[in-house]
Structure 1
Amino acid sequence: MPSDAALQTTHTPRWRSLSAEQRDGLLCLSLEARPLITLRVHTYGTPVVQVEYVCSQRPYQAQWAACYWLLSQHATCQTLTWQLHEVPTQALASGLLVSGEQSGQYLCERALFWQLPQPWLGDAQTAVYPQQMRITAGKRHPLRAPKPRGEVYRRFDARLGSWVSLRTLDIEHDLERFNRWQNEPRVEAFWQEGGSLAQHREYLAKLEADPHTLTLIGCFDDQPFAYFEAYWAKEDRIAPFYQADDYDRGIHMLVGEQQHRGPHKVASWLCALVHYLFLDDPRTQRVVAEPRADNARMIGYMQDQCFHCDKEFDFPHKRAALMILGRERFFDRCALI
């Protein structure tokens, strides 16, 4: 690339333009057209980052943006090595950077970076809800936090060039869409929940009143395309079929819009959904699912995203495959950019 060539402009995860320009061997990042940070990056093996300039009013944001940019541009890079003259106190406290073996050396680890809850969760609740145990219908489980409302997750998917977001379902706003999706023959064959508007209103109202299930709408560029149910496994019907931990989350998935089907779209929204659930509560160590055992396509998509099939088992209404993805595996093999 020529020394004065402009790099692409992309988006930080919540509504801002981050642009980069490379000149004279330097990488210059600007946020909303204001200079943010200038770096010299050596890419022999592990990228080594040296700071030439940083905005004094927002050094942490500058460091975060540089890590985001470099990890997004180098999808296989697991570690960025920073050389800094001053101790990056806020970055160390948050986990954005960790101390290296040498003085003045700090590391950004991809597996840690993607566990930072902000800015992906936006204004959604990010504090850890206190634990107190309850017994519901004979099942002992933690008291669950109140359900969020509105948008809970947003990220710019650099591979698709699109925003992927999750918001909570609003019955009045989403009922007709949900009804149309559930009555699609392709969807009805697996969900077996076809029915009238009245039946679906009752179905969704029951889930809205259930503290163990969160109903979500998935969007690409703010256009709804999918319905998801995220549930706490300990209180769910799946609990007797495996050793469920207190904070395991489970998922049910439905893609309603035909144009958003396909493996490249699944890779985007499934990563986003799992990412949200792991960020929503850092005590969540596993995300599980129980698709029909004969749904080979969905099982294959999930295996592509690092889920493994633990076993097959029988629900009263279907033969199911128990799919499991652990937190450590997800972040260690993180494909987010």
Structure 2
Amino acid sequence: MPSDTATCALSLPRWRSLSADETDCHLSLVLEDTPLVRLRLERGDDLNVHLQYTCPERPQQALWAACYWLFSRDPGCQRLCWHLAQVPEAALASGLLVADEQAGRYRCERTLFWQLPQPWLGESLSGVYPQQMQISAGKRHPRRAPKPRGEVYRRFDARLGAWISLRTLEIDHDLERFNRWQNNPRVLSFWQEGGSLEQHRDYLSKLEADPHTLTLIGCFDDQPFAYFEAYWAKEDRIAPFYAADDYDRGIHMLVGEQTHRGPHKVASWLSALVHYLFLDDPRTQRVVAEPRADNAKMIGYMHDQCFHCEKEFDFPHKRAALMILGRERFFERCRLM
């Protein structure tokens, strides 16, 4: 955190830039030209936050924005201790704040904060899809919710200074791009899905009709750069190779644009993809992947994002590494900013 007075800005999902004046001891935030919140900061084992002013029309936004600012500006900060004169009912109900044993003191935990669905998911459903078990293709699994359409996730990555977003693939709009990416020799060597436009239209149409797979396009600053498949592991070919839970999600990943390769970009999009899947359904406890066992670079990137390699196993078409990331581990060690 800066020791001298500074004025800077941080972009927020679906809001304009959040501006701040901050020192080691004070923080004032302005949102959309309106003073939002003013704080006195006291540093110790935890960061103690004393509320001096909050916008009366936006009290919940003020608390959320202050937590976002303080966590984003200091990735090492794990907990904020808020000192409030009034009980923050809405913040307690949402999980933004947790009551402390000491009266008038409330905690914001980093691990809880990043699990709040808003505003990362935008217009998300108000609750989880109800569970009803069914059997398809000989596999017993929960009935899956209808697939979303359009943008499903957006976050500003302060390290890159860019927006990372995920939207659903639209075949008519994305077919040529998908075809070009799959026929790239670098991609072809791992995916082995090269082919014509019509072959790829058929491939994507089958996935669109499959309730267990969601096809996504990754964007930096709204420019497409990657293709992802998110699948429910219980109904997938991976299920026989480990004890898949009902709400485990799996991922296939393809970076199509050369300019968006590299470890700093992978850290941004892989954390965003996993973040989205854990937010999409709070019952999801693990995200899994099965890259080729000889894809050392991708496996290394996944280790950097706290995945671990459970084992190697044989698919009919490849020797694979079973990579697993648990929900608790992700939110305890997440490097989201």
The aligned residue for residue 262 of structure 1 is 262
**How far has the Cα of 1:45 moved from its partner?**
2.7
Letter paired with 2:273: L
Rounded to whole Å, the distance in 2 between the matches of 1:235 and 1:127 is 23
- Which consecutive aligned stretches of 4+ in structure 1 deviate over 4 angstroms post-superposition? none
Where does 1:205-220 land on structure 2 (aligned, <5 Å)? Answer: 205-220=205-220
The aligned residue for residue 335 of structure 2 is 335
Letter paired with 1:143: R
SS of 2:160's partner is: coil
Rounded to whole Å, the distance in 2 between the matches of 1:140 and 1:210 is 16
Rounded to whole Å, the distance in 2 between the matches of 1:24 and 1:321 is 46
The aligned residue for residue 271 of structure 2 is 271
Rounded to whole Å, the distance in 2 between the matches of 1:311 and 1:26 is 49
**How far has the Cα of 1:17 moved from its partner?**
1.2
Report the CA distance shift for 1:171/1:324 in structure 2 as closer, same or farther (over 3 A): same
SS of 1:176's partner is: helix
- Map Cα deviations across residues 287-308 of structure 1 (whole Å, 9 max, x no partner): 0000000000000000000000
Where does 1:154-303 land on structure 2 (aligned, <5 Å)? Answer: 154-303=154-303
**How far has the Cα of 1:24 moved from its partner?**
9.9
Rounded to whole Å, the distance in 2 between the matches of 1:77 and 1:226 is 31
SS of 1:146's partner is: coil
SS of 1:12's partner is: coil
Letter paired with 1:78: Q
Rounded to whole Å, the distance in 2 between the matches of 1:25 and 1:261 is 40
Rounded to whole Å, the distance in 2 between the matches of 1:306 and 1:131 is 29
Rounded to whole Å, the distance in 1 between the matches of 2:54 and 2:185 is 56
Report the CA distance shift for 1:87/1:286 in structure 2 as closer, same or farther (over 3 A): same
Rounded to whole Å, the distance in 2 between the matches of 1:241 and 1:189 is 24
So what's the TM-score if we normalise by structure 1? 0.98
The aligned residue for residue 45 of structure 1 is 45
Verify the 8 A CA contact 1:14 1:155 in the aligned structure 2: no
Letter paired with 2:67: C
**How far has the Cα of 1:124 moved from its partner?**
3.2
**Which consecutive unaligned segments of at least 5 residues does structure 2 have?**
none
Rounded to whole Å, the distance in 2 between the matches of 1:199 and 1:307 is 33
Letter paired with 1:145: A
Verify the 8 A CA contact 2:17 2:31 in the aligned structure 1: yes
**How far has the Cα of 1:22 moved from its partner?**
2.8
Verify the 8 A CA contact 1:126 1:280 in the aligned structure 2: no
Query: Structure 1 vs Structure 2: percent identity of aligned residues?
Result: 76
Rounded to whole Å, the distance in 1 between the matches of 2:295 and 2:13 is 33
The aligned residue for residue 17 of structure 1 is 17
What is the root-mean-square deviation of aligned Cα atoms in Å? 1.2
- Map Cα deviations across residues 30-64 of structure 1 (whole Å, 9 max, x no partner): 10110000000112331100011011111111000
- Map Cα deviations across residues 165-216 of structure 1 (whole Å, 9 max, x no partner): 0000000000000000000000000000000000000000000000000000
Query: Is 1:76 equivalent to 2:76 in the alignment?
Result: yes
Rounded to whole Å, the distance in 2 between the matches of 1:245 and 1:336 is 26
Rounded to whole Å, the distance in 2 between the matches of 1:124 and 1:186 is 36
Report the CA distance shift for 1:105/1:24 in structure 2 as closer, same or farther (over 3 A): closer
Rounded to whole Å, the distance in 1 between the matches of 2:42 and 2:36 is 19
Rounded to whole Å, the distance in 1 between the matches of 2:125 and 2:101 is 35
The aligned residue for residue 144 of structure 1 is 144
Verify the 8 A CA contact 1:166 1:219 in the aligned structure 2: yes
Rounded to whole Å, the distance in 2 between the matches of 1:275 and 1:24 is 30
Rounded to whole Å, the distance in 1 between the matches of 2:125 and 2:271 is 20
SS of 2:40's partner is: strand
Q: Which moved more, 1:10-19 or 1:238-247?
A: 10-19
Report the CA distance shift for 1:196/1:22 in structure 2 as closer, same or farther (over 3 A): same
**Which consecutive unaligned segments of at least 5 residues does structure 1 have?**
none
Query: How many equivalent pairs are there?
Result: 336
**How far has the Cα of 1:154 moved from its partner?**
0.2
So what's the TM-score if we normalise by structure 2? 0.98
Report the CA distance shift for 1:313/1:83 in structure 2 as closer, same or farther (over 3 A): same
SS of 1:16's partner is: coil
Q: Which moved more, 1:212-221 or 1:118-127?
A: 118-127
